[in-house]
């Protein structure tokens, strides 16, 4: 589901204009891409700061409405003030919702407390915490989950083992990566069983 965002077109660009926007508690931003000219916009600072608390924001479709119409875009970058942590500038990239996009999403492990291998004294090596995915923006998940419950000592979860939604595929070189490993030695009594 798309996030609707209202924005004002900025006719003046540059540091002075951006400073003036921030002084009014708003955030300067830009929309670029899809072989169209970049558009400088101004976002409501309070609304956007609240929106930044939404999980998986970089995998969501934004529909940015301005006086010139509505643009489909994805959030690409947020620059923050190093002292106050307030958003200072935002970059959006236009997308064609009918074409696949490349995104990076976080990987989360679950059921560590019930994992066979960890109960036997194994250790979790959660090596790769983000995965590159390709798919249509409306089917890309906000995160990928690895369930550790059935994993034993010596088990490895590679990119090819990740559970992906239909229409979503791994990005380049992700298949051979070891995302999670249960390391350690098997206790003697389980070896002979």
**Under 8 Å between Cβ of 178 and 128:** yes
Biggest CA–CA distance in the chain, Å, is: 76
Q: In what order do the strands lie in the sheet with 178-183?
A: 123-126, 178-183, 156-158
In whole angstroms, give the CA distance from residue 27 to residue 132: 29
- Domains in the chain with CATH codes: 3-94 (2.40.240.10), 101-191 (2.170.120.20)
**Under 8 Å between Cβ of 88 and 79:** yes
What Å distances lie between residue 188 and 178, 181, 182, 185, CA to CA? 27, 20, 17, 9
In whole angstroms, give the CA distance from residue 32 to residue 92: 6
170 DSSP assignment: E
Per-residue pLDDT of the chain (193 residues; tens, 9 = 90+): 789 999 999 877 777 788 888 888 999 999 999 999 999 999 999 999 999 998 889 899 999 999 999 999 999 999 999 999 999 999 999 999 999 999 999 999 999 999 999 999 999 999 899 999 999 999 999 999 999 999 999 999 999 999 999 999 999 899 999 999 999 887 765 555 4
In whole angstroms, give the CA distance from residue 60 to residue 4: 11
């Amino acid at each position: 589901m798309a996030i609707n965002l209202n924005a004002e077109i900025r006719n003046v660009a540059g540091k002075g204009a951006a400073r003036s926007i921030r002084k009014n508690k708003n955030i300067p931003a830009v929309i670029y891409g899809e072989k169209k000219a970049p558009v400088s916009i101004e976002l409501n600072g309070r609304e956007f700061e609240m929106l930044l608390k939404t999980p998986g924001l970089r995998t969501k479709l934004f529909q940015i409405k301005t006086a010139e119409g509505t643009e489909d875009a994805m959030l690409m970058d947020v620059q923050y003030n190093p002292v106050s942590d307030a958003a200072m500038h935002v970059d959006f990239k236009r997308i064609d919702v009918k074409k696949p996009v490349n995104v990076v999403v976080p990987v989360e492990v679950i059921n560590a407390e019930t994992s066979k291998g960890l109960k036997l004294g194994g250790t979790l090596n959660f090596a790769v915490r983000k995965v590159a995915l390709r798919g249509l923006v409306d089917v890309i998940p906000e995160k990928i989950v690895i369930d550790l419950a059935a994993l034993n000592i010596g088990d490895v979860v590679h990119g090819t083992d990740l559970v992906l939604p239909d229409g979503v595929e791994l990005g380049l070189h992700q298949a051979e990566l070891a995302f999670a490993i249960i390391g350690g030695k098997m206790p003697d009594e389980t070896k002979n069983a």
